[in-house]
Amino acid sequence: HIGNSMKRADTDGLLINFCQTKFVRKIKNKSLPHNHFFHLHYALLALGDTNYANFCNGGKTIDSRLQQLGAKHFYATGHADDGTGLEVVVDPWIEGLWDALKKTFSSMATSDQQDTDLSDCTQDNFHKNASGQEKNKSDLEVDLHLLKLSETDSQKGKAITSDSIDVETLSTVLAASLKQSVPPLSESALNVPALPASYLEVCLEQVSTEGETVPSDKDSYHEVSISKAVQLTQDDAVKTAISLELDISNLAYQPGDAFDILCPNRASEVKELLLRLDLQTQKNGAVQVNLLKNSTAKIPLHIPQNGSLQFILTWCLEIRSAPKKAFVRALADFTQNSSEKRRLLELCSKDGSADYNSFVRDANVCLLDLLRAFPSCLPPLSLLFEHLPKLQPRAYSAASSSLQHPGKVNFVFNVVEFPARPEHPARTGLCTGWLAGHVSSILRPLGTVPASERLGTSALPKVHVRPRPSSTFHLPADPSVPVVMVGPGTGVAPFIGFLQQREKEREANQEATFGEMWLFFGCRHKDKDFLFREELERFAHNGTLSNLIVCFSRDEPDAAGTVNRPTYVQHNLSLHAKNVASILLKDKGSLYVCGDAKNMAKDVNDTLLEIIGNELQIDKLDAMKTVAGLREEKRYLQDIWS
């Protein structure tokens, strides 16, 4: 398998181990002939995390280069996401691998003619994943077939039967839910993963540690004031977009960079968790964390020694994360009710993958939701410390240029809303909801007096931030290079910075040659959520922006009988295919894409393949190689998120 870097959200380097680095360096040698690996049939499992940009970049780069050199897949490439649980993709990928290997060896023993048949057969066999349902291609590009495992493999797990479960309880089940299963799962023996070994001992000292405010790595962060908070959308818009301006007089950045923001867990959720664990009276006690005897593990670095329990649950642990299967398996062992324990074992089992995906991962269920659903589950504090991940800062792209706003940085975000559902109550995104509440006292609609002019700076809300420089997502060093930008919704943010930068450069160098700048923007409604409308129209009017191409997905057509109206940014790209192709292929321009990874970025990439294929009159494989070349030359850059 090939893992991608998880060090920085915008990294596009292959920060992989030494042996892999040597391998990558060798296969990227431009002197290698195009058929260098013509003899090679391979399978590849890439590991990554969609919380970071350039998901599975290491694996994707190697995969692309091997194909450029003539190698062929004998099995579909897997892309496993640590953000949602590696096992969701890894388990079915590994199990389907054996069948693919058998077919490969069989074909090798007969004739080379079977290579084509093998490829077709492999693809046809992988139309069902572990859940029996279609899997999103962002998780796994081709659905994988799950082989039935032996139930006697004591090293991997054990068979759990429903004989000991309360029959009356099971008979009342009408439909599957987080709490309940239905046949055949409810009547099956289960292949559950092995119980993760405990390795931490947690003690609470009765010493008050009140007064802590931010995590121990605060030295890398800067406390800054929020001088402006503006709601960019109308109150009746589907989403609420807010723009913040921060005072950062001592911090440097470029358009295209991002800023990390520290945010806490909700105080109400921390309080509920303390009550649920019966630790509310010890919330200010100093936490001592030690390794169990003979353990070879390490104490997680994000858990500070002597920090208060409330501080650790507020600032250090991601209590909102969806519990991974290993955590669910461990929780089952601390669940007293047999029916509840059985259900937790189902959710972490291979047999219950569909239920886990539906009722835990896709439902955004967190630890508190599980504890509410299974009241007899009483985990020790050490289990939470072992399984809850670090509370990560949230990164937001700069939506400004320091040339136009010295000592300031702007960024924009949508307040994420999770509606109530059977698995959990209604709630907002962890950071976006916190930020919206944090700036409520200074939030204003467009066109009104900024808070900094009404309040003293000491009264302004503050946040802890640190710059997150991008290695590549910047304007070309040569200003004459043309640029195509694709950024629907809040994905337009870095391009506001690009355009502010270019506007100032044009003012300062009126004799210089500047390349065209195209922006493809999209939103739902022209009059409700057209972000930065006045500023974008100003850029278009003064020539900074050569072409502003906008679409509105939910507005009615302007004229009766209008058909084929562009709905999304990829549709407008297709309408301007010749211009886009000319900029990228003839003028050696750059394409920047910012926004949603699962849908928009994929659709834009597919559209780009069509544009290049049609313009160059080449097939899809050759178009893919051309697009890979653009990425290699750093002329196709993405800042995307899931």
* 468 phi/psi in degrees, rounded to 5: -125, 85
pLDDT given for residue 106 in this prediction: 80
Question: Is residue 96's pLDDT more than 90?
Answer: no
pLDDT given for residue 104 in this prediction: 80
Higher pLDDT, 55 or 260: 260
pLDDT digits (tens, 9 = 90+) for 597-628: 889 999 999 999 999 999 999 999 999 999 99
User: How far apart, in Å, are the Cα atoms of 490 and each of 62, 222, 530?
Assistant: 31, 25, 10
Please report where in the chains the tokens 């990928």 appear, as a residue: 93
* 279 phi/psi in degrees, rounded to 5: -125, 15
C-alpha 552/C-alpha 556 separation (Å) is 9
Question: Is residue 117's pLDDT more than 90?
Answer: no
pLDDT given for residue 214 in this prediction: 66
C-alpha 39/C-alpha 616 separation (Å) is 28
C-alpha 73/C-alpha 636 separation (Å) is 25
C-alpha 178/C-alpha 424 separation (Å) is 10
User: How far apart, in Å, are the Cα atoms of 445 and each of 149, 250, 449?
Assistant: 58, 29, 9
What pTM was estimated for this model as a whole?
0.76
pLDDT given for residue 53 in this prediction: 52
Question: Mean pLDDT over residues 259-282, rounded?
Answer: 97
C-alpha 131/C-alpha 146 separation (Å) is 9
User: How far apart, in Å, are the Cα atoms of 260 and each of 9, 11, 223, 357?
Assistant: 10, 14, 12, 29
C-alpha 297/C-alpha 313 separation (Å) is 22
pLDDT given for residue 371 in this prediction: 98
Higher pLDDT, 52 or 267: 267
Percent of the chain with pLDDT over 70: 80
Would you call 36 exposed, middle or buried from its count of C-beta atoms within 10 A (0-12, 13-18, 19+)? middle
Question: Is residue 7's pLDDT more than 50?
Answer: no
Higher pLDDT, 457 or 437: 437
Question: Is residue 85's pLDDT more than 80?
Answer: no
Question: Is residue 6's pLDDT more than 50?
Answer: no
In this prediction, residue 221 has a pLDDT band, given cuts at 50, 70 and 90, of very high
In this prediction, residue 33 has a pLDDT band, given cuts at 50, 70 and 90, of confident
pLDDT digits (tens, 9 = 90+) for 483-539: 999 999 999 999 999 999 999 999 999 999 999 999 999 999 999 999 999 999 999
Question: Is residue 428's pLDDT more than 60?
Answer: yes
Q: What's the mean pLDDT when you consider all of the chain?
A: 85
pLDDT given for residue 558 in this prediction: 65
Going through 221-372 in order, the beta strands assigned E by DSSP cover 222-231, 241-247, 258-261, 286-291
Pick from 148-152, 347-351, 401-405, 547-551: least confident: 148-152
- Domains of the chain with CATH codes: 2-125 (3.40.50.360), 483-641 (3.40.50.80)
pLDDT given for residue 635 in this prediction: 98
Positive or negative torsion for Cα 627, 629, 630, 636 = positive
Pick from 39-53, 246-260, 490-504: least confident: 39-53
pLDDT given for residue 208 in this prediction: 65
User: How far apart, in Å, are the Cα atoms of 25 and each of 35, 77, 376?
Assistant: 18, 21, 54
pLDDT given for residue 158 in this prediction: 46
pLDDT given for residue 187 in this prediction: 93
Percent of the chain with pLDDT over 90: 66
pLDDT given for residue 557 in this prediction: 72
C-alpha 607/C-alpha 601 separation (Å) is 10
